[in-house]
A = this chain, B = another copy of it.
Amino acid sequence: MKVAVVGANGKIGTHVVEQLQQAKTHPVVAMVRKQAQVDGWKDQGVDARLLDLEGPVSAIEKAFEDIDAVIFTAGSGGATGDDKTLMVDLDGAVKTMEAAHAVAADRFILVSALQAHNRENWNEDLLPYYVAKHYADKELMRSELDWTIVRPGGLTDEPGEEKIELAENLGRGTIAREDVARILIRCLDADNTIGKHFDALTGEHGVEAAVKRI
């Protein structure tokens, strides 16, 4: 399965590409916004391509030509305005789903946010972000893709301890981006996660066991 990592220069995306590259289980393509980022990955021996989430679906399809699976980790981030939240986190994600479906890259793993499916539990400080995630998730759930939605809690840059908790509904908590990347990659080889959505936090279970039980 050739895996496209969308948002490969983001903090989670970088972990995903590096871990996939190291594991050698699946060939990986880093999808990034700028040519300098393509060059940077290639210097590290990683296949990389340009992908503009604000561009047309047809261009995303072209970038996905020989791709079998997509891990979508892109996010506009806190430094840009909510116009980008709408354009990237919502419409960019859905355009990526449409392109993946068009080229039969049917396996689609999406990074969402803890409790994005329950409006009453949205983080008050991140409401616009939660709206974007909520509707992107809904679109994916209704798609014909083989989807999985992973909803991590508060993200940290600590080294991941490979101990996690996964469930459809969890209370507030945190998780290392490095461990989120491990979960996403583990889902690639865990067909039991197809059609599932779940929260993810630091916890007491190994990644493989936790993903298997979902």
Contact = CB atoms under 8 A, between A and B. Distances in A.
A159 interface: no
B56 A128 contact: no
Interface string A22-63: 000000000000000000000000000000000011000000
A62 to B, nearest CB: 16
Contacts of A83: 82, 127-128
Contacts of A57: 119
A197 interface: no
Contacts of A87: 127-128, 131
Interface of A is mostly: helix
Closest 8 CB pairs of A and B: A82-B82, A86-B131, A83-B128, A86-B128, A82-B83, A91-B131, A135-B135, A90-B131
A132 interface: yes
Contacts of A86: 82, 85-86, 127-128, 131-132
A83 B82 CA distance: 6
